[in-house]
């Protein structure tokens, strides 16, 4: 299908790669000390006291599975039963995930970790697991924040994590068509480095960029911070190859096609419930000549929404376009004294990536629009955002240590609903947590824009109660109810996992769920693939029957 491989392909990133810490986000050395100003704020505004301590070690139950049967498939070195390996594949990185580790809860830990090296090995592993009724959790970066790595393994003989880290090659590069064939285990920076050597970029920079993998980006419909310029990851994927228990599915053959329903779009967002993505063909672009990030202060969040809507609908559309509400602006600009006063206005971050000429043209056009809306430049804010863009999860580790319950959630809605969604979700979070005796800070930014709407990303912080997992569970449910009631989607880029399943079912309806279950039954007849993630277990709903 593609021309001969350029010299030097396949190519792989250098070994070893850094691991995420098992009890928090990435490199422990990067967990910051909390600034005094923030400590004062937390003590004063949120009455934060003590919280759950960082765990030293946890005890795991012995594995329920023998290594032998898998050694035949992938070799002894690729079948891990050590505690550390198992623990590193336990759940994801949501705040409840981290809190549960602080509580010593290791339920659902995989019995074994398997490291296949090829499509054929993945396929064979799935065949063995199907035969033996062993549940499988496909594992990429391990950065899920929606319970996407926590299958229901109870009725099964055991649970294995199939970690695709060894499948990390740049296989092909088609420069004329600007596409690359990549393996799913490549992390964001690894893929970018392999492409940069040849002058290209994917342009996909989500919060989880440093640890997330391409397979995970595809399986969860990840969206990068520069999505306005490069597109969401699901828009970058031209074709996928998937190993399922029932066989190999290859979807996507051309840039666009009218050959029936788009089966790629069944794989994208399937969250490991149908199979394991074993390679991806993705659109690439020349690495940008220039990257510029500017900060602007707009008079208010609502004034900012108007101008961002105009830019999304009539252009020029920069690569990055974000807008913080007044509360988030006050914190971001380190003016916590203005919290609640609205005096800080609303901070916009605007990023331009591409050829010098188009960057300058974009800056001029966007600048005119922002000035017309009363915007003023904020020197240093754009560069500051870019420098710290992957640091927020480290701050969470420090805040958890300090006794703060802090978590994020996100949604997406049509423009006409955005103000209503913003108000309803903020109110639901404030009401739920205040009723629990822990009034929160609720911050929000708009982070991805489209002609028809935009996403909203909320950050919530309050004092940890005695049972912070239940505390957050109640608040998240209230926010999710508000999202559904205002017509927004339960997720713009975090995915469904197990946490969002209840609202996902409301969103796609009983018949929509039944369609997904029919697909799953065909591809995964034994029901071993990430059971309970995305698709509810069979029998949990009634038949949709004949009802208009």
Query: DSSP labels for 207-236?
Result: TTTTT-BHHHHHHTT---TTHHHH--HHHH
Shorter beta-carbon distance to a copy of itself: residue 186 or 516 = 516
Among 270, 426, 438, 530, binds a copy of itself (CB under 8 A): 270
* Interacting residue with a copy of itself among 39, 64, 253, 387 (CB under 8 A): 253
Task: Say which residue the tokens 């805040």 belong to.
Answer: 399
**Identified binder of a copy of itself from the candidate list 134, 182, 238, 320, rule CB under 8 A:** 238
Using the CB atoms, write b or e for 366-385: b if 16+ within 10 Å.
bbebbeebebeebeebbebb
Q: Which residues, numbered 139-168, are part of the site for a copy of itself (CB under 8 A)? A: none
Cβ proximity to a copy of itself, 369 vs 510, nearer residue: 510
Angle between helices 418-435 and 301-314 (to 10 degrees): 140
> Segment 496-515, which members bind a copy of itself (CB under 8 A)?
496, 500, 504, 507-512, 514-515
> Which listed range, 85-93, 369-377, 379-387, 486-494, lies at the site for a copy of itself (CB under 8 A)?
486-494
- Determine if 309 is a binding residue for a copy of itself (CB under 8 A): yes
539 binding a copy of itself? (CB under 8 A) = no
- Give the number of residues in contact with a copy of itself, rule: CB under 8 A: 101
Would you state the structure tokens that stand for residue 507, as one six-digit string? Answer: 């969103």
Write the CA distances from 243 to 131, 150, 246, 278, 523, integer angstroms.
Answer: 16, 20, 8, 7, 9
For a copy of itself, which is the closer residue by CB, 337 or 355? 355
Task: Reduce the DSSP state of residue 373 to 3 states and report it.
Answer: coil
Site for a copy of itself in 91-120 (CB under 8 A): 119-120
Site of tokens 């949501």: 94
Show contacts with a copy of itself in window 421-450 (CB under 8 A). Answer: 448, 450
Beta bridge partners of 170: 11, 182
Residue 266 makes contact with a copy of itself by CB under 8 A: yes
Q: Is 495 in the site for a copy of itself (CB under 8 A)?
A: yes
Nearer to a copy of itself, 84 or 131 (CB): 131
Instruction: Name the residue with tokens 């911050």.
Output: 443
545 binds a copy of itself (CB under 8 A): yes
Q: Is the CB of residue 520 less than 8 Å from the CB of residue 535?
A: yes
CB closer to a copy of itself out of 232 and 297: 232
- Specify burial of residue 199 (Cβ count, 10 A radius: 0-12, 13-18, 19+): exposed
Q: Is residue 488 part of the contact set for a copy of itself (CB under 8 A)?
A: yes
The residue within the footprint of a copy of itself, chosen from 22, 70, 123, 352 (CB under 8 A), is 123
Q: How far is the CB of 336 from a copy of itself (least distance, A)?
A: 32
Instruction: Find, among 7, 210, 250, the residue nearest to 93 by Cα.
Output: 210
Q: How far apart are CA 435 and CA 125, in angstroms?
A: 49
DSSP character at residue 537: P
* Contacting residue, 523, 526, 528, 529, with a copy of itself by CB under 8 A: 523
How many degrees, rounded to 5, is the angle at CA 365 between CA 347 and CA 288? 85
Q: Is 72 in the site for a copy of itself (CB under 8 A)?
A: no
- Pick the closer one to a copy of itself by CB: 227 or 436: 227
51 and 464 Cβ atoms separated by less than 8 Å: yes
The answer to whether 7 contacts a copy of itself (rule: CB under 8 A) is: no
Phi, psi of 250 (to 5 degrees): -120, 120
521 counts as binding a copy of itself under rule CB under 8 A? yes
Torsion of Cα atoms, 233 then 239 then 241 then 245, to 10°:
80
- Member of 267, 404, 424, 475 binding a copy of itself (CB under 8 A): 267
Residues numbered 12-71 forming contacts with a copy of itself, rule: CB under 8 A: none
| Site stretch for a copy of itself (CB under 8 A), options 47-55, 296-304, 308-316, 474-482 | 308-316
Name the strands in the sheet holding 79-80, side by side, starting at the edge strand that comes first in the sequence.
Answer: 79-80, 112-114, 159-163, 135-139
According to CB under 8 A, which residues from 352 to 371 bind a copy of itself?
355
H helices present in 402-500, as ranges: 418-435, 468-485
* Contact predicate 114/76, CB 8 Å: no
Expressed in percent and rounded to 5, the helix, strand and coil fractions of the chain are 35, 20, 45
Q: Which of 182, 276, 463, 490 binds a copy of itself (CB under 8 A)?
A: 490
Site for a copy of itself in 173-232 (CB under 8 A): 174, 176-179, 220-223, 232
C-beta closer to a copy of itself: residue 110 or 147: 147
> Which CB, 76 or 416, lies closer to a copy of itself?
416
Residue number with CB closer to a copy of itself (183 or 271): 271
By CB under 8 A, the residues from 390 to 419 that bind a copy of itself are 411-417
**Which DSSP symbol is given to 55?**
P
Structure tokens at 119: 């499509």
What is the CB neighbour count within 10 angstroms for residue 169?
18
Nearer to a copy of itself, 283 or 426 (CB): 283
Q: CB-wise, 104 or 286, nearer to a copy of itself?
A: 286
For residue 438, the SS3 value is coil
Beta carbon of residue 460, minimum distance to a copy of itself (angstroms, whole number): 20
DSSP 8-state symbol, 18: P
Kindly state whether residue 459 participates in binding a copy of itself, applying the rule CB under 8 A.
no
Per the CB < 8 A criterion, the answer to whether 409 and 479 are in contact is yes
Nearer to a copy of itself, 426 or 455 (CB): 455
Q: Please give the residues from 278 up to 307 whose contact with a copy of itself meets the rule CB under 8 A.
A: 283, 285
Q: Which is nearer to a copy of itself, 187 or 232 (CB)?
A: 232
């Amino acid at each position: 299908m593609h021309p001969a491989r350029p010299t030097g392909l396949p190519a792989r990133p250098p070994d070893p790669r850094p691991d995420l810490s098992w009890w928090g986000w990435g490199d422990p050395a990067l967990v910051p000390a909390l600034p005094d100003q923030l400590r004062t704020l937390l003590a004063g505004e949120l009455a934060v006291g003590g919280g759950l301590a960082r765990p030293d070690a946890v005890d795991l139950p012995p594995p329920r599975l023998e290594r032998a049967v898998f050694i035949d498939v992938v070799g002894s070195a690729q079948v891990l039963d050590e505690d550390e390996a198992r623990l590193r594949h336990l759940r994801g990185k949501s705040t409840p995930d981290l809190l549960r580790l602080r509580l010593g809860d290791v339920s659902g830990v995989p019995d074994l970790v398997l490291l296949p090296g090829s499509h054929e090995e993945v396929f064979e592993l799935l065949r063995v697991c199907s035969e033996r009724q062993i549940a499988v959790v496909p594992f990429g970066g391990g950065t899920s924040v929606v319970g996407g790595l926590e299958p229901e393994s109870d009725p099964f003989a055991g649970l294995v994590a199939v970690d695709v880290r060894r499948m990390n090659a740049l296989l092909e590069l088609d420069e004329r068509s600007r596409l690359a064939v990549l393996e799913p285990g490549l992390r964001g920076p690894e893929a970018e480095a392999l492409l940069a050597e040849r002058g290209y970029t994917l342009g996909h920079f989500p919060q989880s960029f440093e640890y997330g993998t391409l397979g995970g980006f595809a399986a969860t419909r990840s969206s990068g911070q520069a999505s306005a310029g490069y597109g969401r990851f699901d828009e970058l994927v031209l074709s996928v190859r998937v190993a399922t228990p029932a066989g190999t599915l290859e979807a996507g053959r051309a840039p666009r096609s009218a050959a029936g329903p788009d089966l790629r779009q069944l794989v994208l967002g399937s969250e490991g419930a149908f199979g394991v993505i074993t390679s991806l063909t993705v659109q690439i672009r020349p690495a940008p000549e220039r990257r510029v990030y500017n900060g602007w202060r707009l008079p208010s969040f609502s004034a900012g929404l108007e101008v961002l809507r105009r830019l999304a609908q009539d252009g020029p559309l920069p690569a990055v376009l974000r807008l913080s509400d007044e509360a988030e602006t006050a914190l971001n600009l380190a003016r916590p004294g203005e919290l609640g006063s609205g005096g800080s206005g609303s901070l916009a971050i605007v990023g331009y990536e591409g050829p010098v000429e188009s960057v300058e043209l974009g800056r001029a056009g966007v600048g005119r629009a922002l000035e017309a809306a009363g915007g003023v430049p904020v020197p240093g804010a754009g560069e500051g955002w870019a420098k710290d863009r992957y640091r927020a999860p480290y701050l969470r580790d420090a805040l958890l240590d300090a006794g703060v319950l802090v978590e994020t959630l996100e949604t997406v809605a049509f423009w006409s609903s955005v103000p209503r969604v913003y108000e309803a979700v903020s109110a639901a979070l404030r009401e739920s947590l205040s009723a629990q005796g822990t009034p929160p800070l609720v911050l929000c930014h708009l982070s991805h824009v489209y002609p028809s709407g935009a996403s909203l990303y909320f950050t919530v912080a309050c004092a940890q109660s005695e049972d912070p997992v239940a505390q957050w569970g109640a608040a998240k449910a209230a926010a999710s109810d508000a999202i559904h009631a205002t017509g927004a989607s339960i997720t713009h880029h975090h995915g469904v996992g197990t946490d969002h399943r209840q609202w996902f079912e409301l969103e796609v309806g009983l018949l929509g769920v039944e369609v997904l279950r029919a697909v799953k039954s065909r591809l995964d007849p034994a029901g071993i693939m990430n059971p309970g993630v995305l698709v509810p277990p069979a029998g949990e709903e009634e038949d949709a029957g004949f009802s208009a």
